[in-house]
Chains A and B, each alone.
Chain A
Amino acid sequence: MGANLIEVGRLEKYFQSYDGADVHALADINFRIDEGEFITVVGPSGCGKTTLLRVLAGLISKSSGTVNLAGHEINGPSRDIGIVFQSPILLPWRSVFENVMLPIEILKLDRAQYHKRALELIEMVGLQDFADKLPSELSGGMQQRAAIARALVHNPRILLMDEPFGALDALTREQMNMELQRIWAESGKTVFLITHSIPEAVFLGDRVMVMTNRPGKVDRIIDVGIPRPRPLDSMGTARFGEVATQIRALFEQKGYID
């Protein structure tokens, strides 16, 4: 693994709630992400996972602490970041190809130069036969693949994913996990993925960041240590069970699971 790509130190985030009181959303968050690493974040709803992602994406500001991307402070949206949300949010009037090209257009990059890259990414996510189709002609899983290609097209250094497969059925979801592992390996990108599924977090992550809430903080960062590429049946290995049990125990301690 390469050098630190993301450095987060003593990050605090407060929100002003409706009645004027301060809500402590993120408390003393510290972690680093290596270049090329796959980090997954798991935690109960309301633990600040999404807030953390939005701070990393430069969509909201931090209250205090340091948040650096490749040595530079994150103050706002950056070209080095690609985002995938829970819903694919493709533009329904554009073909898959034109959807993937959206960031190129918005960032005013050279279309001709990225044309080939967009097609390659579409092929990498397995949509080569659907490049000219409208999103409504695609299944939910295929739409999310197109969204992943779109997030990668401008060649960002890190891919931020906010429960990207949360809306998919269980079978499609497992298939997408396999696909994402392959895409990550092929693209060599750094991935920061939020999920509420413990198996998904363990299956995909090099390290799993376990978050707890009120205030939202990082309870533990666990090294998964299962060799890659991981086949789906790696979920049946002893090490997988061990890590999953460890995470469950943490949640149990906090009273999230009865």
Chain B
Amino acid sequence: MADIIQRGTTRAVPRSAFRFFPQFKLYQLASPAILVVLLVLWEVGVRVWNVPVYVLPAPSKIFQALANGLSFHDFWGDQRFYVHIAATLSEAMLGFVVGVLAGVAFGGSISQTPVLESIIKPYIMGFQSLPKVAVAPLIVIWFGFGIGSKIVLVALLVFFPIMINSLAGFKSVEPELHELMRSLSASRWQVFRTVQIPSALPYIFAGLEMAVVYSFIGAVVGEFVGGTKGLGVQVVQMTAAMDVSGMFAALIILAAMGAIASKLLQLLRSRVLYWAPSEQNRKK
């Protein structure tokens, strides 16, 4: 259906402005155009009003800092971003994996025992209302300034949305489907494996999308509190040196890392959840 309608509209428009890209629409230029306009205004404004570089650097200065930080010269040097990207990325990824595995395992096991769920629920609620980044200093005391404390913090942040979502997912099976499985004398393990796990996947993926964001937050906050490597550490050091251009460059890299991670997750999602209504809507 969608295809037919789309084809219909392109045919209705007599001639595209871009002969070589018939699918291209003028409005698709709007987003990048806005960015260019804003950058130009920013650059001009900073120069006209002589804004000091330690308050708001011009885009050209930020670009310079970015190019300098990403230069291949002295690749693993402290002045380059690479060593910090590697540190932050490994903290975020390891913490993500630990938090997701623990969250799914925990959510899965308490979904199987309603009694356990009702016992544990108040504690979960209590922990959830706690802003977990506030625990970061404590975690650094316990686990040190190395990668360990960051992994723990990230895992803690990731754990809750994953656990809550997977618990809801494992319980989302329709009662009639449970009846059907019971009429076939299915074992608990069979029900869990053939029905509950796939049913939980859309919920778990919704949790993963949150978890990706949280994992970078956790890694950076952990580095703020205490660390020797990582983009968070670099931002703190640049603050001390009033290197605001460098800070902007680090922020751009963090944003890019987050965006790439989310995109990868989306690709995985569309492969795993090919059957889910949400995916079929996205395709349309």
Within the complex, the shortest CB–CB distance from A55 to chain B, in Å, comes to 12
Given contact pairs A59-B179, A93-B276, a sample of 12 additional A-B residue pairs in the complex whose CB atoms are under 8 Å apart: A58-B183, A77-B184, A79-B185, A81-B183, A85-B180, A87-B176, A91-B198, A92-B276, A93-B275, A105-B194, A106-B194, A136-B277
A229 to B184, CA, bound (A): 32
A92 touches B275 (CB 8 A): yes
Shortest beta-carbon distance from B179 to chain A in Å = 6
Nearest Cβ on chain B to A140's Cβ, whole angstroms: 15
- The residue of chain B having its C-beta at the shortest distance from the C-beta of A92 within the complex is B275
Q: Which residues of B, 182-196, contact A by the 8 Å Cβ criterion? A: 182-186, 190, 194-195
List which A70-110 residues lie within 8 A (CB) of chain B. 76-77, 79, 81, 83, 85-87, 89, 91-93, 102-103, 105-107
Number of interface residues of B (CB under 8 A): 20
* A208 touches B (CB below 8 Å): no
* Binary CB contact string for chain A from 59 to 77 against chain B (1 if under 8 A, 0 otherwise): 1000000000000000011
B174 at the interface (CB under 8 A from A): yes
Docked pose: A57 CA to B176 CA in angstroms: 13
What are 11 A-B pairs at a CB distance below 8 A?
A: A77-B182, A77-B185, A81-B183, A83-B179, A89-B176, A93-B198, A93-B274, A102-B184, A106-B184, A106-B190, A136-B280
A interface footprint on B257-284 (CB within 8 Å = 1, 0 otherwise): 0000000000000000011110010000
Residues in A neighbouring B185, C-beta threshold 8 A: 76-77, 79, 106-107
Given A59-B179, A77-B184, A83-B180: A136 in contact with B275 (beta carbons within 8 A)? yes
Interface of chain B, main secondary structure: helix
B181 at the interface (CB under 8 A from A): yes
Within 8 Å of chain A (Cβ to Cβ): is B177? yes
Shortest distance between the CB of A74 and any CB in chain B (Å): 12
A108 vs B245: C-alpha distance when bound (angstroms): 65
What DSSP secondary structure best describes chain A's contact surface?
A: loop
Whose C-beta in chain B lies nearest to the C-beta of A105? B194
CB-based nearest A residue for B190: A106
A106 close to B181 (CB less than 8 A): yes
Which residues of B line the A interface, CB within 8 A? 174, 176-177, 179-186, 190, 194-195, 198, 274-277, 280
CB distance from B185 to the nearest CB of A (A): 5
- 3 shortest interchain CB distances as A-B pairs: A93-B275, A106-B184, A85-B176
In the complex, which residues of chain A have a beta carbon less than 8 angstroms from the beta carbon of B174? Answer: 87, 89
Give bound CA distance, A107 to B183, whole Å.
10
Q: Min CB distance, B61 to chain A, in Å?
A: 52
Do residues A134 and B275 form an inter-chain contact, with CB atoms below 8 A?
yes
- By beta carbon, the residue of chain B nearest A90 is B177
Assess whether B276 is in contact with A89, with CB atoms less than 8 Å apart.
Answer: no
- State A79–B185 Cα separation when bound (angstroms): 8
How many whole Å from A249's CB to the nearest CB in chain B? 34
What residues of B have a CB within 8 angstroms of the CB of A103 in the complex?
Answer: 184
Partner of A83, one of B183, B186, B274: B183
Which of B179, B180, B182, B186 has most chain A Cβ within 10 Å? B180
Q: A102 — which chain B residues lie within 8 A by C-beta?
A: 184, 194
The complex places the Cα of A69 from the Cα of B185 at a distance, in Å, of 17
Chain A minimum-CB-distance residue to B276: A92
Task: Find out whether the CB atom of B183 lies under 8 angstroms from the CB atom of A89.
Answer: no
In Å, the complex CA distance between A83 and B280 comes to 30
Choose one: B182, B275, B276; the contact of A59 (CB below 8 Å): B182
A101 to B183, CA, bound (A): 15
Contact B177 A89 (CB under 8 A): yes
Q: In the complex, how many angstroms separate the beta carbon of A46 from the nearest chain B beta carbon?
A: 18
A83, closest chain B residue (CB):
B183
Residues of B within 8 A of A76 (CB): 185
Chain A residues within an 8 Å CB radius of B182: 59, 77
CB nearest to B280 among chain A residues: A136
What is the CB-to-nearest-CB distance from B211 to chain A, in angstroms, rounded to a whole number? 22
Measured in the bound complex, the distance between the Cα atoms of B198 and A91 in whole Å is: 9
Closest residue of B by beta carbon distance from A82: B183
Q: How far is the CB of A5 from chain B (nearest CB, A)?
A: 17
- A residues less than 8 Å from B183 (CB atoms): 57-59, 77, 81, 83
Nearest CB on A from B47, distance (A): 57
Q: Which residues of B contact A91 (CB under 8 A)?
A: 177, 194-195, 198
Q: How far is the CA of A58 from the CA of B180 in the complex (A)?
A: 11
Indicate if the CB atoms of B276 and A107 lie closer than 8 Å: no
CB nearest neighbor in B for A135: B275
User: A59, A86, A89, A102 — which one has the most chain B CB atoms within 10 A of its CB?
Assistant: A89
Cα A85 to Cα B175 in complex, Å, equals 11
Contacts of A93 in B (CB 8 A): 198, 274-276
